[in-house]
Amino acid sequence: IEASLRVANFSKHYQLLAKEFDRTGFSFDVDRQLGGLLYIGDSALDDQDKLEELTNIKASLTTRYSTGKVCRDDAEQDCVELEPGLTRIMSTSRDYEELLWAWKGWRDAVGPSAKEDYVKYVELKNEAAQANDQPDTGAYWRSWYETEDLQGQVERLYEELGPLYLQLHTYVRRKLYDHYGPEKIDITGPIPAHLLGNMWAQTWGNIIDLCIPYPDVPSIDITDALVEQKYTPRLMFERSDDFFTSLGLIEMPELFWEKSMIEKPDDGRKVVCHASAWDFSNGKDFRIKQCTDITTDDFGTVHHEMGHIEYYLQYKDLPLLYRGGANPGFHEAVGDVLALSVTTPKHLYEIGLLPEPLDDPKIDLNYLMITALEKIAFLPFGYLMDQWRWSVFAGDTLPEDYNTKWWELRLKYQGLTPPIERTQDDFDPAAKFHIPNGTPYIRYFISRILQFQFQQAFCEASGHTGPLHQCDIYNSEEAGTKLGDMLKMGSSKPWPDALEAIVGSREMSAKPLIDYFQPLIDWLDQQNKANGDVLGWAAEGSNSNESEAEQLLATFNEEAQVEYAKATEASWAYFTNITDYNQQKS
């Protein structure tokens, strides 16, 4: 807390100095850097007491989340933390009641007690945003993208991608129905939120065993291979480092290996296990903090976090104010785009994690399904997280409606419903790390778009021919050069400049993502039609009986003719004989 306050005062000092300049006529570079000094986040609060209060609240929210645990039968000696315990239950159990215990327990442990802090957090964050010349914190966060219509842009992208999600949702709902039965799954309704292999139902890859198109062909899940080959967290990170150097990019410095925490400490310390990459702003100290598990999922996470470190290394010699992603989504996309190559059957065979090359259309469909459960399933969650916060910060959603609004959005965009009744005494948004930690989330949605644009450009540079989902840019220095040139720009130019440097266009586009998944989209459409399943979901408690709807329309048609004829007759009477009596009747 003391360090945060010290940095806040430092930022405030230089903000005041920067305000003394009239930047008219300054060069683009000097003007851009001085502008960066003016907008300093929470540090802009003038009232030192309020700044200290906000800093303490942020620490309290994060600590509550990081130390949360769920105990069986209130027995303090039989408790499970989120990582790895609850996460493993959510990812591996197929027991409806056990999943419900973990899901509800986590939300009970970290939600209700956070609400009072969060209400005050919103108030103080908005004061800080206004001190940065923005009406509220949502607007301040959106200003980082240097575009007038970020909300319109992401809405357009989501509308393009919505049909993909509907196909996937409908297929997965059918598979859950087959497994859990009609007493648990409404085949036309939303999906209970605890059954999708993830505490927040943000990605669904952990239920691939229920959803795999062709279960009898060789698996491309590498968890068993990682364990059999005695992979350690260190070896997983070394594999990732090898990928970067194969592209001609910068290898991890020795200090990275010395200082990073890539395993959960076994000395009793409590740590924030959520994986993250750290830049210590001195041009030489870069670290990752991750409680790495030896799984396929964490193999991808390792590459994602290493992507952040590579970005730091590439722009470390720029002025400090330029040491950041072109926009927040760029930073997230860099690691993810590499994971698109790393997880291909071709690459896994090349590095010895698959026993044979797997060139089979069925394996291709399985691979696309695995990827879709991570990428497409995430899209509405990535979109709605900040839809909720923007509404809260703008004052459109009041504290008494926090939880109601949360589940309205989960239903509207994800087609999910809570497995048990939720009330305003609950505060379920606080069960997701980025809410108590105050990390904006639309960056992750944007990164899902950008990574496929990047992948298409890198694959073209590498000389790849064939479907985009089969591309592996490993060992392509041509692709590495294109990537490295963009990374070196940091935030020194507006993000459309950086995007144009890679893809030749200044606009985000969903088309490469759609092209990547097109074979799976076509297959899902066939499967859903063959099953007779209807895309979408009926709201809980609504009537989905079409014959009853037809009867309602027939009754309406019959009665409406009578009522509308009477109304028209009254109007006719008035317009052809204007009297007080006829005016009253009309």
43, 13 Cβ separation under 8 angstroms: no
8 Å CB contact between 216 and 201: no
Instruction: Determine if residue 463 is left, alpha or beta; phi over 0 gives left, psi from -120 to 50 gives alpha, anything else beta.
Output: left
> Hey, which bits of 334-489 come out as E strands?
416-417
CA distances from 179 to 103, 166, 406, 473 (A): 19, 20, 28, 38
Nearest of 48, 260, 318 to residue 326 by alpha carbon: 318
In Å, how far from its chain's centre is CA 85? 22
Q: Write down the catalytic residue from 347, 434, 464, 469.
A: 434
To the query of whether residue 444 is one of the catalytic residues in this protein, the response is yes
183 is catalytic: no
Catalytic residue among 193, 332, 347, 498: 332
Among the listed residues 275, 339, 377, 498, the single catalytic one is 275
Which candidate, 328, 324, 310, 164, places its Cα nearest to that of 247?
Answer: 310
The amino acid occupying position 202 is Q
Annotated active-site residue 39? The verdict is no
Q: Measuring CA to CA, which residue among 1, 235, 198 is closest to residue 103?
A: 198
322 is catalytic: no
Residue 346 near residue 462 (C-beta atoms within 8 A): no
Residue type, 230: K
Q: Does residue 13 have an active-site annotation?
A: no
Residue 91 to residue 105: CA distance in whole angstroms? 16
Considering the candidates 305, 310, 331, 469, report the single residue annotated as catalytic: 305
**What residues have CB less than 8 Å from 300, skipping those under 6 apart?**
339, 342, 343, 374
552 Cβ contact partners less than 8 Å away, ≥ 6 residues apart? none
- In angstroms, the CA 383 to CA 164 distance is 15
Active-site choice (274, 460, 501, 573): 274
Taking the C-alpha atoms of residue 71 and residue 62, their distance in angstroms, rounded to an integer, is 20
Q: Considering 169, 194, 303, 304, which one is annotated as catalytic?
A: 304
CA 347/CA 474 separation, integer angstroms: 8
Catalytic residue (one of 194, 308, 464, 469): 308
The secondary structure of 171-214 as a DSSP string is HHHHHHHHHH-TTT--TTSPEETTSSSSTTSS--GGGHHHH-S-
The letter for the amino acid at 450 is L
332 catalytic per annotation: yes
Out of 444, 469, 498, 510, which one is annotated catalytic?
Answer: 444
570 vs 475: CA distance, rounded Å: 81
Tokens of 102: 């973990």
Residue numbers annotated as active site? 274-275, 304-305, 308, 332, 434, 444
